[in-house]
Amino acid sequence: METTQILAEIREANLSYLMLAQSLIRVDREQALFRLGVSEETANLLNTLTPAQMMKIATGNTLLCRFRMDDDLVWGLLTSHGKSSANDSVSRLHASILMAGRHQEAA
């Protein structure tokens, strides 16, 4: 994959993320804070962005969103690595609880 194509895909992902974030914040602010893992201040800023501002921000060459699952335990739970499918919902619930706790610690 060429660098120009990668940069174009980053810009597209950034714009999609900003639009999704703004939509979530406007529909259900508390859920948006949790699901996006952002602070109240960031949510306020995202909520007030104009389409032109979002386009300008999205054109950077760095992804605006990041993975919140940054350890092997959460990844293992989400992928159910080495577990039967019967435990899948329990594993996902456990992973959600761990990530929610980390969101609270960061806030």
Q: Are residues 73 and 51 in the same domain?
A: no
Q: Are residues 62 and 72 in the same domain?
A: no
The angle, 0 to 180 degrees and rounded to 10, between the axes of the packed helices 40-48 and 3-27 is 100
CA distance 70 to 31: 21
DSSP line for 43-64: HHHHHH--HHHHHHHHTSSS-S
Q: Are residues 56 and 90 in the same domain?
A: no
* Cα dihedral across residues 9, 12, 14, 16: positive or negative: negative
Structural domain span for residue 77 = 67-107
Q: Six-digit token pair at 81?
A: 């690595």
pLDDT tens, per residue, the chain with 107 residues: 799 999 999 999 999 999 999 999 999 999 999 889 899 999 999 999 999 999 999 999 999 988 766 667 666 776 765 555 556 666 666 666 666 665 555 55
Task: CATH number of the domain at 38, please.
Answer: 1.10.4000.10
